[in-house]
Structure 1
Amino acid sequence: MAIVGILYMVNVASIPLMLSAIGIYFILRGFNVDQRIGGAIKNFMQVFRMPAYAQLRTFAAFTTFILFIIGLYMGYITTIGAIYVKYPNPPDPLTYTWWWLDKIPFLIGSFISGSIDLAAIALLITILANIVYYLFSRNPRIWGAIRGGVLLLWIWALLKRAGVVLITGATGGLEDPQVFLLAIIAILGMITLTVTLIVTRMLGRMYSKYFRRKT
């Protein structure tokens, strides 16, 4: 408040500006906005005093959020670009609603193809960070995280191929190469996940003394 008075005395601040500044000040104080901002800054500074593996997990969460948002944006841009490449003069959606409804599989396939890579990488970063965290904290959840990583890779492969099928409008069942590859990926994914489950169960028993759940 003293600063505002000094600025007015030296003709730097006008009366309306002063009143606005005072009003904003009391609003911030009334809703404890200043305390919340201070608390947020304090919590953020705690990141720099965390153990190394906890810092890794925090950075992974931030990176995952950024990559996931960019992935959604890339999916949107890819879909718009694909529409104008295949249909240079698309009709108005409000007037030709049925035309656009007929193109929904193509739109979904384009969005999946444009966004799935970054989205999968974002989630994989989180899973890898959790694996490192569970390793250092000796948490048996590490085996579930490993299975989650394998599951994510196969979901990525499945959605990637599904996007291609939707874009190309594949027909004819397994006789179509794209549909056949989609079926192969699904079968191989089931086999791999089953093997991963068996292996992690065995490793969980072998290293049960190291990875102990804290009570």
Structure 2
Amino acid sequence: MKKCIVSLATKNSRYVDGLARLSNSLRDNASGIDFLGFIHERSVGAPLHTENNYAFKVYTIQKAIDAGYTEILWLDCSVWAVAPIQPLFDIISEQGYWFEGNGCWLGDYTNDVTLEYYGIDREVAKEIPMIQSGFMGFDTRTVSGSELWNGLKSACELGLFNGDWANHRHDQSCLSAILYSYFVKFNHLPEYVQYAGLYDKQSNDSIILRCQGL
């Protein structure tokens, strides 16, 4: 069993700064958990973000899997730790995955191509909660974790991540549809992640991660 946290910054300096902030925050909050941080899509062999939107997430996670890691937590560069990470890995180990919702609905932020691929009517999709793909965990040793991961990877390979930001949330839309297809439930509103600035007061005692735009 090997645990790791992975992230990637495109060449934009803001994301590189965010990756450094994430790395620094893990020094006191991720004991016994490796951190794999990458800069630029080519460092993991991924197509450019402009060619396949957010495909670098899949390629980064796959790189960790190829290195022998079995419990993997993806964190965006806009995220940093404010408390020990281990409780999230406890959930990943127990369930085979970890996701949190973002308060939005699949039908509002998913294009027709993706809904049709997963056989989901738009009116039904308007009542399906979306995850926030800026933080997601998989345990590839488990049936649930491996199936969800393989589903996400397939969506990437099929080009389903691509779409206009106005009505599609790329990997987030696809994974939300996959979770619905597998009847996987998750907390619709964030529980362990707080959307907040550096100096905002912590909203509750369960917060482990903060997320802030870059």
> Into which bin does the TM-score normalised by the smaller protein fall?
under 0.3
Per the normalisation by structure 1, the TM-score is 0.25
Structure richer in helix, relative to its length: 1
Which protein is bigger by CA-based radius of gyration? 1
